[in-house]
A = this chain, B = another copy of it.
Amino acid sequence: MPTSSPSPEPLPSRRIAETLRAAIENGELSPGDRLPSERSLAEQYGAARNTAREAIRILAEQGLVIAEHGRGVFVRERKRLLRFGSDRYSLKNRETGLTPFRLEAARQGRTARIEVLGITREEPPEDVAERLGVPTGIAGVVHRENHYFADDEPVQIVSTYLKWEEAQGTPLMEPRSGPHGIYGRLEELGHVMTRGRDEITARMPSPHESALLRLPPGVPVLEVLHTSFDQNAEPFEVSRYVHRADRAGLLYELPVEQAES
């Protein structure tokens, strides 16, 4: 009897991983449940501990489980996502007096906290310089760095860049920039946001981001590079949002222009 296909006898580590994956997906193991220990998996499958460990690594890479030092390996919870996006800059949110982040956190019954990391004059990163229309190589921008927490869990890092020549000596250099935040001050400087552009990418975090966001392995980040344009179609503000992708998503509402009759 010829085997219908080569069926190359899966590797031990894959086999263990697949068995566990199936158990998770059919509900035998529920979110929060502990997996058997590496040592007991190894014994159970007649393998070395490193092999069981490799199986766990595969599942962790897929975001299915999370290892906790000294406690065990657990099936991941799938928490509801905080959602940000096209209404992050919407004027109608202004009336609530809440920033979009606080609004979204409140909507989900979570506590919001915002930490101002620093407001410094700097040389802009290349991608920011390009979009803001300032030269690179000189300290031509103000960099405001904020960290956002929901239920004291870090959720996003935001770096806002403004032109130094404009921000210099204004409340834009202060942690609390006044009514309606920096957009309020920028309007007073003659910049009304009439158009925005969001460029979205996903990638694995740098070690720095990994530490700041306290990211477990296998969780990517969503990066949004936002550019604000004023009534003269001039860019006047660029922000980089880095979200942990397992806790935050993006929502864009798109009006579709109609064909002229």
Interface residues of A (CB under 8 A from B): 61-63, 81, 83, 85-86, 89-92, 192-207, 217-222, 245-246, 249-259
Contact = CB atoms under 8 A, between A and B. Distances in A.
Q: Summarize A's interface: helix, strand, loop or mixed.
A: mixed
Contacts of A246: 203
B251 A203 contact: no
Contacts of A62: 204-207
Contact of A252 (B198, B201, B217, B256): B198
Contacts of A194: 255-256, 258
Nearest to A192: B258
Contacts of A81: 201
A90 B193 contact: no
Contacts of A206: 62
B245 A202 contact: yes
B245 A220 contact: yes
A256 B220 contact: no
A254 B61 contact: no
B204 A63 contact: yes
Copies per complex? 2
Contacts of A257: 90-92
B202 A256 contact: no
Given A61-B204, A63-B203, A253 B220 contact: no
Contacts of A198: 250-252, 254
Contacts of A199: 83, 249-251
Contacts of A249: 199-201
Contact of A256 (B63, B90, B259): B90
Given A195-B254, A252-B198, A204 B217 contact: no
Contact of A245 (B89, B91, B203): B203
A252 B61 contact: no
Nearest to A256: B193
A82 to B, nearest CB: 11
A17 to B, nearest CB: 9
A164 to B, nearest CB: 25
15 contacts: A61-B61, A61-B204, A61-B217, A62-B206, A85-B200, A90-B256, A91-B259, A194-B258, A196-B253, A197-B254, A200-B251, A200-B252, A201-B222, A204-B220, A255-B255
A90 B195 CA distance: 17
Contacts of A193: 256
Given A200-B85, A201-B249, A204-B62, A255 B195 contact: yes
